[in-house]
A = this chain, B = another copy of it.
Amino acid sequence: MTRGQEPIEKLIELLARLPGLGPRSARRAALHLVRKRDLLLAPLAEAMAEVARSVRPCLECGNLSTAERCAICADPRRDAAQICVVQDVADLWAMERSSAYRGRYHVLGGLLNALDGTGPEELGLPRLAERVREGVSEVILALPATIDGQTTAHYVADILPEGVQATSLAQGVPVGGELDFLDDGTIGAALRARRSL
Chain A residues with a Cβ under 8 A of chain B: 1-8, 10-11, 14-15, 17-21, 24-25, 27-34, 37, 40-52, 54-55, 58, 63-67, 70-72, 74-75, 88-90, 93, 96, 180
A41-B37 contact given A21-B21, A66-B6, CB 8 Å threshold: no
A49 CA to B6 CA, complexed, in Å: 13
How far apart are A5's CB and chain B's nearest CB, in angstroms? Answer: 6
Q: Are B71 and A2 in contact (CB under 8 A)?
A: yes
Closest to A17 in B: B40
Q: Are B93 and A7 in contact (CB under 8 A)?
A: no
State how many copies of this chain the complex holds: 2
| Set B4, B19, B21, B89: member contacting A65, Cβ < 8 A | B4
| Set B4, B14, B29, B32: member contacting A74, Cβ < 8 A | B4
Q: Are A32 and B18 in contact (CB under 8 A)?
A: yes
How far apart are A16's CB and chain B's nearest CB, in angstroms? Answer: 11
A37 CA to B64 CA, complexed, in Å: 13
Closest to A13 in B: B47
Give the interface SS of chain A, mostly helix, strand, loop or mixed: helix
How far apart are A176's CB and chain B's nearest CB, in angstroms? Answer: 18
How far apart are A69's CB and chain B's nearest CB, in angstroms? Answer: 8
| Set B5, B24, B28, B49: member contacting A49, Cβ < 8 A | B49
Q: Are B7 and A50 in contact (CB under 8 A)?
A: yes
Between A and B, 28 residue pairs with Cβ closer than 8 Å are A3-B71, A4-B70, A4-B74, A5-B64, A5-B65, A5-B66, A5-B71, A6-B66, A7-B55, A10-B47, A11-B50, A18-B21, A19-B29, A20-B20, A20-B21, A24-B180, A27-B93, A28-B90, A30-B51, A31-B89, A31-B90, A33-B48, A34-B51, A34-B55, A37-B52, A42-B49, A45-B52, A46-B49
How far apart are A164's CB and chain B's nearest CB, in angstroms? Answer: 26
A23 CA to B24 CA, complexed, in Å: 20
